[in-house]
Structure 1
């Protein structure tokens, strides 16, 4: 019994020793260079919760990553010991002398640490550094909205485990990554380094003196000098930082404030789907105009104003833009595709297109010019007249000449007798009809617009019915004297419906008509609203029969 009491007392004393906490803080380097990562480890000889220590005071002077927490237990000679370890990565915000404060857990406290941070060398290669970075800006002077190029090159000596780049920043300009990172290698001071290059575009938004702030690369690297055993060596946390780079931005040139396009080269070119010397009236051609510029993004390129001469219709598509990298420069292009249809024969001239721009190399204003082009249009032998639907009653000259019209051949007595005979014939019939139950009167709808029928015609791509229905709609809701599609076209305002109507008109001119699709026509009709009218095509009054 006494033996058990002694054993219990010894075990209790051993547990007391294990839980008696000792708190110790250490760093892996002192002094440290600006941009380097300092590893701070805090160890407590007891098992406690991970949030037992508050590290928030460190954020005033350092960029803090962590902490990571490890807990362990050891039993030796019948005695157990437990530890809790916090590991943090600190990066000083500036050079100078700092104090890492004491940390507390209950009544236990660590000792404060005096730390000195010295300026980093320009390249780091003279001190045998395993990692350093370089930054370049080309050119050092830019105009507002001109694209410049910022290159960040990272030099590594060792096995990279993890790495991250803190991108540079600049107030008054936008930065964007160009393409993918480029891996390579270079020999520096007789040593081979693995290189990683990342490029950014810099586009100033205001003039004046700007500064591109430092970029930072943080990494964990295993030292290759350890040879085969390096795989068993923990990776070291390292960091490197670039120097800030000044940037001078020139203002927009005087007189070009409304249309400012700054580039090292701008061009205008065009392509045609057919021969412009042998154009057939009513047959569409596709004109593709390309606006290209160096050292710009496609969203910076302006839209083109394509004027149409009399007798020519143009139907532009939505412009398509893209930007690519060529020979370390951005090349932007905007493509304008236009369907061109000649309404009349003869020679039709498309006017010259001009784009003013500022040459960033010569510092002078220039013009990108697409010369005027003459289309030689031949009459279409297959052209047919547009259908004309009219309700005009025939004239007297067009009336048939029958015996009952020539009243001078018929005597008054004959007419009277004829009327009496007809009355005697139809009186019994009228009496019989009046005795029958009443039915709903039928409504003649041939001259009224029927939206349901028009919608069905568009969905089934029935060109003829769509033409007839549009004419009825035009006479009923726009102007009663509209007789053909050309007159309806002249009454419509510029709108998607007007464009669809013109395509519908020219469909009949084709030598080999292409399949016509009516879905876009009905969609444009539903959106159309005629000026000076409360009638909207999308909300017409209920005048239409259900059939």
Structure 2
């Protein structure tokens, strides 16, 4: 009897489970889109709803890739019970953007052997009458030029227009193979009215420097985010809002990059305007022997980065020595253009009187407006060096001898320093008989000289005990940065390492590094590093190849250490 009761209960439970399973079995999958027609480059939302709790990975969106760009897909499940009637649903929300204007069919999508019905959608061109600029969000782009020379800067302006309220969003960076791309300035926000509708506009400017010649396509940014939309849920006391995912594309831009002209000689400087000017301190054309003169050269170029500006150099005739100072680099924004400036001071000191001519300074550059070679020129300058009376008087004073008898000295030696004085100008300096103070000063001088000699001998013996010199860590820092694939640190350490390894070359920029090493493979790898870092590409830069080049170059013997020139007062 008991066994029969147990069997009846087990059968009832099994039947109930079968009924429950059949009640929640997947029977229907539907697909809908939030708008139709849609405009080119505008996103729309595809929703697929299954009437059961199924695997979130059950929906395959790969059939959509032929005609659409498939954005982010979100999945949600819901279970509700009304009067003991339980329902379960699984919903997929996918953002789609048509690849081109036209009429398309969203194919049937299958979830666990149950398929949706196909959906027809029309994509209108932005210039058509049907596309009357009624979209909530869109992107416009403007570029300064579509045909440029290699390394010539161009400006890309991206504007994001949105009429809906944004909850969140992000704007990606434009991309261009083999180019450095940097944002110029900060985002600019303003309002604009288009076809009677008010839009909030976010403007962003980019400076692009293509490093290779050829035909390219600039991939403009993609905006992805969520906007707030009214909810269908209503209550007497509360109002609800929903969010809707959106994505929008800008128009791709075709760019033609021309190579460096064959007839161009010198450092390649493509610019709309380039100037070179000088300043003198003190100003004038006549200076005295031994008087320090400061000549400041300033190079200003539009559309060039600091790294592209060349080394400023000047020469002088025999009789005038030049002491160059460290160059100052500045970068700013003017009318949306990158403007770079290099300023360098040169100290000039004349050692003999006479008339000298400082040679002309001529710098070639390529005018991208007129498409021809131009030269930034500072004309030759003639300066006259006159005698320095203060130096003569000082030389007379330091030329006096002191002893126990009267001594006569003339300025014949001084006439050799300033050859415009004649040997006939003779002066006599009489020194009176020495007193006990002179002997005191002589004893003190001897004691000072002895103390100085002992100090020198002590320092010399101490320096001989230092067997191991202190080494610079620039090379180790550079190798460590390559091992960790730290492109930013490599760019910072390359110049300091090269300046240490080539002390007679005065290395101050990455262009100097390329020019001095003069290795095609090394330069290509360095260009690749610059492109990866400045273009902010998603692909991680690998530093092992550049590390191999650096190790090989570092094995080469260092050249003679450059001398540090000091200017005596």
| Common fold: TM-score over 0.5 | yes
Structure 1 residues 387-426: aligned runs within 5 Å? none
Name the counterpart of 2:17.
12
Would you say 1:452 and 2:435 are equivalent positions? no
Answer yes or no: is 1:41 the counterpart of 2:58.
Answer: no
Shift of 1:284: 5.5
Tell me if 1:102 matches 2:135: no
Question: Please, what TM-score do these two structures have when normalized by structure 2?
Answer: 0.59
Decide which moves more: 327-336 or 72-81.
72-81
> Which residue of 2 is the match for residue 136 of structure 1?
142
From 70, 73, 84, the equivalent of 2:79 is 73
Which of 307, 316, 319 pairs up with 2:327?
319
Relative distance call for 1:309 and 1:447 in structure 2 (3 A) is farther
CA deviation after TM superposition for structure 1 residue 291, in Å:
0.3
Give the aligned length.
Answer: 407
Tell me if the contact between 2:97 and 2:248 (Cα under 8 Å) persists in the aligned partners: no
Distance 2:464 2:307 in 1: 43
Once the two structures are superposed, the pairs formed by residues 129-278 of structure 1 within 5 Å of their partners are 129-170=135-176, 174-205=180-211, 210-213=216-219, 215-222=221-228, 232-272=240-280
Deviation of 1:286 (Å):
4.8
TM-score between both structures, scaled by the size of structure 1: 0.61
**In structure 2, how many angstroms separate the alpha carbons of the residues matched to 1:9 and 1:171?**
65
Matching of residue 26 in structure 1 with residue 37 in structure 2: no
1:86 aligns with 2:107: no
Matched ranges for 1:509-528 at <5 A: 509-510=568-569
Deviation at 1:199, TM superposition (A): 1.9
Q: Which structure 2 residues correspond to residues 433-472 of structure 1 after superposition, within 5 A? A: 452=463
Q: Cα–Cα, structure 1 residues 14 and 346, in superposed 2: closer, same or farther, change >3 Å?
A: farther
The equivalent residue for 1:473 is none
Deviations 1:388-430 (A, max 9, x none): xxxxxxxxxxxxxxxxxxxxxxxxxxxxxxxxxxxxxxxxxxx
Query: Given the superposition, is the C-alpha separation of residues 78 and 150 from structure 1 closer, same or farther in structure 2, using an over 3 Å criterion?
Result: same
1:464 corresponds in structure 2 to none
- Report the alpha carbon displacement of residue 6 of structure 1 after superposing the two structures with TM: 10
Going from structure 1 to structure 2, the CA distance change for 1:331 and 1:179 (only over 3 Å counts) comes to same
Instruction: Report the CA distance between 1:130 and its aligned residue.
Output: 1.9
Determine if contact 1:18/1:82 at 8 Å carries over to the other structure.
no
Q: Mind listing any 5+ residue stretches in structure 2 that lack a counterpart?
A: 397-455, 471-557
Give the match for residue 421 of structure 1: none
Pairing 1:309-348 to 2, within 5 Å after superposition: 309-344=317-352
Distance 1:33 1:254, change over 3 A: same
Residue 375 to residue 86, structure 1, CA distance change in 2 (3 Å):
farther
Provide structure 1 residue ranges, at least 5 long, that are not aligned to the other structure: 385-444, 460-492, 511-547
- C-alpha displacement of 1:104: 3.1
| 8 A Cα contact 1:14 1:79, kept in partner | no
8 A contact 2:230–2:240 mirrored in 1: no
Deviation at 1:333, TM superposition (A): 0.9
CA distance in 2, matches of 1:154, 1:122: 18
